[in-house]
Amino acid sequence: MRIIRLKDVIDSTGLGRSTIYKYIAEGAFPKPVSLGERSVGWVEEEVHEWILARIEERDTAE
- In CATH, 3-60 is 1.10.3470: no
Separation CA 24–CA 29 (nearest Å): 5
Does pLDDT of 19 surpass 90?
yes
pLDDT of residue 1: 93
- 62 pLDDT higher than 80: no
What digits encode the pLDDT tens for the residues 38-60? 999 999 999 999 999 999 999 99
pLDDT of 33 > 80? The answer is: yes
Q: DSSP for 20-61?
A: HHHHHHHT-SPPPEEEETTEEEEEHHHHHHHHHHHHHHHHH-
Cα–Cα distance measured from residue 47 to residue 31, given in angstroms and rounded to the nearest whole number: 9
What is this structure's pTM? Answer: 0.91
Residue 3's CB is within 10 A of a number of other CB atoms, namely 13
Domain ranges (residues) in the chain:
3-60
